[in-house]
Amino acid sequence: MSAQTYEVHVSGISPSTTEKHLLDFFTFCGKIEKIDFQPDTKSATIHFEKASAAKTALMLNGGTLDGAHLSVTSPKEHPDEEVHHDGPIDQSDKPRAGIAAEYLAKGYKLSDNILQRAIELDNQKGISSRFLTYIQSLDTTLGQKALGPDQKISAAVGTKLAQAHERARSIDQQNGISTKAGDYYSRALSSPWGLKVKAFYTSTSKQVLDIHEEARRIASEHHAQPPHPADTGISTGVGSAAPPVDPAVHSTSQPLVSAEIPGGKTTEAPTVL
């Protein structure tokens, strides 16, 4: 475990909730170092690797898990930090609205109040400069490969877009992008709605309906991709273990609802290459 962690305290946990349920639920916020779970007191302390992940977890205060309303608090404020290092984009680098869309796409149900809270956090703190740089670089790289020098895939329109989409798909197949973490963004940017996708992840001007729209795109992408022969922890960059995708992908009057989650334990949220 890292020398320093950033904690949130969770209380009001359902008697049916296990440590794994908590881990699968909160891993969308970012990498979890450990969970101190006290079933007797129906409480837990979640230790995150980054302060920004803990701040995202606080966004979920007032939600429900396994039918119980959760209180997610912290004795101190967790700032959004810019961490510069080599390697993949971390889950905690993503816009909060994007993380909310991942929750919906994976079958959780979020209230519009929580979605609005995600939007407000993006408005207050802006989008991670590291994530903005990643999306811009990806857009330019795909555009140059599919369309030529100084071209961006998300800017293509009409016939040019259709041609770019086909070329990008060919590049995807040749390079095996579909088997790599982060391929969701590559395919999304090179899709007919690439400009909308780019705007969603790079702009702080969003509405609740925009989160639902992105959740539907993620869910559609999830259904379209064949499963990996062996699950090696590789992610499409759109979330981690969670309940089956809810076809409706909609919000409810309840703040947050989760179904029981099958599968193996992981302590690291998905990342993007």
Length of the chain: 273
| Pairwise CA distance, residues 272 & 235, whole Å | 8
Q: Could you count the other beta carbons within 10 Å of the beta carbon of residue 54?
A: 26
Q: Which two tokens stand for residue 237?
A: 């960059």
Residue after which a domain boundary falls, among 181, 199, 224? 224
95 with 123, same domain: the answer is: yes
Number of domains in the chain: 2
| Pairwise CA distance, residues 43 & 41, whole Å | 5
Q: Write out the residue range of the structural domain in which residue 128 sits.
A: 87-224
14-33 burial, b if ≥16 CB within 10 A, otherwise e?
Answer: beebeebbbbbbbbbbbbbb
Q: pTM of this prediction?
A: 0.73
Q: What is the DSSP letter of 193?
A: T
Residuewise pLDDT in 10s, the chain (273 residues): 557 899 999 999 999 999 999 999 999 999 999 999 999 999 999 999 999 999 999 999 988 788 888 899 998 888 777 655 556 778 988 999 999 999 899 887 788 999 999 999 999 988 988 888 888 877 676 545 544 455 554 555 444 545 555 555 555 555 544 444 357 887 888 778 888 898 999 999 999 999 999 999 999 887 766 544 333 232 334 443 344 444 444 444 333 333 333 333 334 443 332
Residue after which a domain boundary falls, among 80, 106, 135? 80
208-224 helix and 112-125 helix, angle to the nearest 10 degrees: 100
- What pLDDT is attached to residue 87? 64
**Do residues 168 and 197 make contact, with C-beta atoms less than 8 angstroms apart?**
no
